Amino acid sequence: MPIVRNLQLFMALNLLDATLTSIAISYGGAELNPIIRHLTDHSWQFWTYKVVVPLVVAGTLWALYKKYPAQIRRITIVLCVALVIICIWNTVALITLGG
Q: Which runs of consecutive H residues, i.e. helices, occur in 27-97?
A: 34-37, 43-65, 69-97
DSSP state for residue 42 in the 8-state scheme: S
- The answer to whether the pTM exceeds 0.85 is yes
Per-residue pLDDT of the chain (99 residues; tens, 9 = 90+): 689 999 999 999 999 999 998 898 888 888 888 888 888 777 888 889 899 999 999 999 999 999 999 999 999 999 999 999 999 999 998 898 875
Beta-carbon contacts of 9 under 8 Å, excluding residues fewer than 6 positions away, are 76, 80
Q: Percent of the chain at pLDDT above 90?
A: 60
